[in-house]
Structure 1
Amino acid sequence: MNSYRIPEIAKQYTEYDMIQIHTDLPDFPELRTRLLFAFLNGNSKLSTSSELYTLATSLVQLALDTHDMVTVSNDIKEKKAARSRQLKVLAGDYFSSRFYHLLAGAGQIDMIKQLSNAICEVNRLKMNTYMKMKQLKLSAEDYIHQTVEIKSQLFLSFSEFMSEVYDQAWPEILRSYAKCEVIFEEIFRMESGANFKGSWGFWHILQHGTKDERKQLQAEESDQAKVRTLQHKYHITSQLYQMLDSQTKMLQSSVQQLESDKLISELFHIGEPFLRFLAKQPKVLEEI
């Protein structure tokens, strides 16, 4: 069995002085990367390529996430901000090129095709979600679902290879972990008070709020104090905590159905941060 060391290997591609000095990168997709490695490494037919496949996939995900951080407008006059934007574009392109280089060098042309198709699907999902957001036709439930699908697509491209051993376990468990990840991120998004527009809380209030409340949320410059009042009124944070609690319990149940004790142990270890986080918040879980 190979030991998990993907983040360390990835540093040779991500820790360039030019990038670190002049711009910031998104977080490494640690949870989904560890999950993919655990499943690949537990399959005797795939274990020899588990490190290569996981590294390549993590670099593609990092490339997509980096490009997502690029501002829509190019009207940046301040030199430092303009350089940061340019380097995000270049860094994302560089991570994508490493994915091709790694797999091509190993003769894994079919895997290049699999991941390339997955990239197309990610971009299709992003465009569809963006259009629904722009037209204000997205529900809070749809927001979670679409975000989970976008986060999962690259990793779902391995479903066919795993089907003989894990049947439907891989896509189900992957999506369940991704949903925990999405909800977890939304909790911190609410607690930081940043970027409320477009969050789960935003779509929830837009769906259930009064006409005046919806109008207030859609204003170009929302009154932050009033937005916080709406968050409290609709119990946004506590609802997210309860969603995470419910999802982790469903996930635990799914993981326990697997036949490999070693894989079960690894998957519980991967999901442990969610459980520790929830254990510290008993009062919030009782609010609703």
Structure 2
Amino acid sequence: MKPYRISEIAQKYVEYDMIQSHTELPAMSSPRLRALYAFLNQQQSVAKHSELYTLVISLVQLGMDTHDLIDTDETKRPEPEMRARQLNVLAGDYFSARFYHLLSQAGQIDMVSKISGAVCEVNRLKVNLYMRMRQLKISAEDYLTQSVQLRSTLFQLFTGVLEGNPARLWSEVVGGISRCEVVLDEIERSESPVRFDKSWAYWHVLQEGTEEERQTLAERSGETAFIAGLVDKYEVRRLLAAKLKQSVEAFKAAAGRLESDKLLGELNQIVDGLLNGNGNSGYAPALNKTR
């Protein structure tokens, strides 16, 4: 198997002085990308395109994530903030467009259509989620489920590209990794009052809190001490830690059904790295390294 080097290859499409000087790009989703690369590399029929497919997916995802950083508030801003917002728009458009060029150069026109369809589905899901959030018509569990779906939908298209045992398990594997990513991010958000708004903890308190607490949250007038108190009162960290443990165990069950020990080992490293990298390895058991 060729070593994973997508991050290095992508740098020439990402590292531009103007972008780096005036805005901050989101991080690439290394766990999902590494899993995709590992699955593609295991199959002879698509192994020769594993690097290309993973690269273009990384750029498409980065483009969508960059657009998500754009603040839609129309209030007049200082010039540096306006420039940063404009560059987020342009950078997102550029990353999204590069995949057309790379795939067409390689004669992979069918893959252009597949990815474009997946992007449309992600945008549909995103609009639906945002509308429900704006209307305050979503539960904490619905929010979590839809957040996982948003992260995994682009990658799910490869279920139709893979074959055999990997094809049957890819959807569960990438969904499991996405759920671990989402829960880890929600744990971090619960520890940062400035990121509390519209987080899983926010929706959980909106469900379980008193009328006074719900009113305060709905008006977005919660102070830092107030939010920290809610997180403690409703045991948000404990609940999320339990969800992370459940997510890893579900992922273990799916990965354990793979017929390739090598692929299982790759997934083991990916998820252990995800947990250790976020400082939360104590929340969940390590993947079983024996067959």
TM-score scaled by length of structure 2: 0.93
In the aligned structure 2, how far is the partner of 1:106 from the partner of 1:100?
10
Structure 2 letter corresponding to 1:183: V
Q: Deviations over 1:219-267 (max 9, x none)?
A: 1322221121111110011211121122112212221211101000000
- The aligned counterpart of 2:107 is 107
* 1:29 to partner: Cα distance: 1.3
Q: Does 1:17 align with 2:17?
A: yes
Separation (CA, whole Å) in 1 of partners of 2:2 and 2:23: 33
Contact 1:248 1:274 in 2 (8 A): no
Please, which moves more after superposition, 94-103 or 71-80? 71-80
Runs of 4+ in 1 over 6 A off after TM superposition: none
CA spacing shift, 1:279–1:56, aligned 2, 3 Å: closer
Please give the root-mean-square deviation of Cα atoms over the aligned residues, in Å: 1.4
Residues 53-111 of structure 1 show CA distances to partners (whole Å, capped at 9, x for unaligned) of: 00001100000000000001243430111110010000001101111110011111100
CA deviation after TM superposition for structure 1 residue 196, in Å: 0.7
One-letter amino acid of the counterpart of residue 225, structure 1: A
Q: Distance in 2 between matches of 1:11 and 1:114?
A: 24
**Higher alpha-carbon deviation: 47-56 or 160-169:** 160-169
Q: Match of 1:31, as an amino acid?
A: P
2:98 — aligned with what?
A: 98
The sequence identity of aligned pairs, in percent, is 46
- Give the superposition deviation at 1:117: 0.3
Q: What residue is the counterpart of 2:237 in the other structure?
A: 237
Q: Distance in 1 between matches of 2:234 and 2:6?
A: 41
Tell me how far 1:280 sits from its aligned partner. 4.0
- In structure 1, the residue matched to 2:124 is 124
Matched to 2:33, the amino acid is T
- Cα pair 1:248 1:275 within 8 Å, conserved: no
Cα contact 1:100–1:112 (8 A) shared by 2: yes
CA contact (8 A) 2:160 2:167 kept: no
- Determine if contact 1:217/1:227 at 8 Å carries over to the other structure: no
1:182 paired residue number: 182
Closer, same or farther: CA 223–278 of 1 in aligned 2, 3 Å: closer
- In the TM superposition, what is the alpha-carbon distance from 1:275 to its structure 2 partner? 4.6
| 8 Å CA contact retained: 2:66, 2:88 | yes
Q: Where does residue 285 of structure 1 map in the other structure?
A: none
Q: Structure 2: which amino acid aligns with 1:238?
A: R
Q: Distance in 1 between matches of 2:41 and 2:165?
A: 12
> Which residue identity lines up with residue 213 of structure 1 in the other structure?
E
The 3-state SS of whatever aligns with 1:158 is helix
CA distance in 2, matches of 1:12, 1:279: 33
> CA-to-partner distance for each residue in 1:178-202, whole Å, 9 max, x for gaps?
0000000111111222221100000
**Distance in 2 between residues matched to 1:76 and 1:116, nearest whole Å:** 34
Give me the whole-angstrom Cα distance separating, in 2, the residues matched to 1:245 and 1:62.
Answer: 28
Q: Specify the code of the residue in structure 1 equivalent to 2:154.
A: L
Q: Distance in 1 between matches of 2:119 and 2:147?
A: 15
Residue 278 of structure 1 deviates from its aligned partner by 3.8
Residue deviations 1:152-181 (CA, integer Å, cap 9, x gap): 111111111114342420001110110000
Q: Which runs of 5+ in 1 are unaligned?
A: 283-288
| Corresponding residue for residue 286 of structure 1 | none
Secondary structure, aligned partner of 1:179: helix
Judge conservation of contact 1:38–1:263 (CA < 8 Å) in 2. Answer: yes
1:212-227 aligned within 5 A: 212-227=212-227
Alignment of 1:1-288 (within 5 A): 1-276=1-276, 277-280=279-282
TM-aligned CA deviation for residue 207 of structure 1 = 1.2
More displaced 10-residue stretch of structure 1: 157-166 or 33-42: 157-166
**AA at the equivalent of 1:257:** R
**Structure 1 residue 281 displacement after superposition:** 5.6
Matched residues, number: 282
Q: TM-score, normalised by structure 1?
A: 0.94
3-state secondary structure, aligned to 1:96: helix
User: Quick one: distance in 2 between partners of 1:197 and 1:146?
Assistant: 17
1 CA distance for matches of 2:195 and 2:238? 18
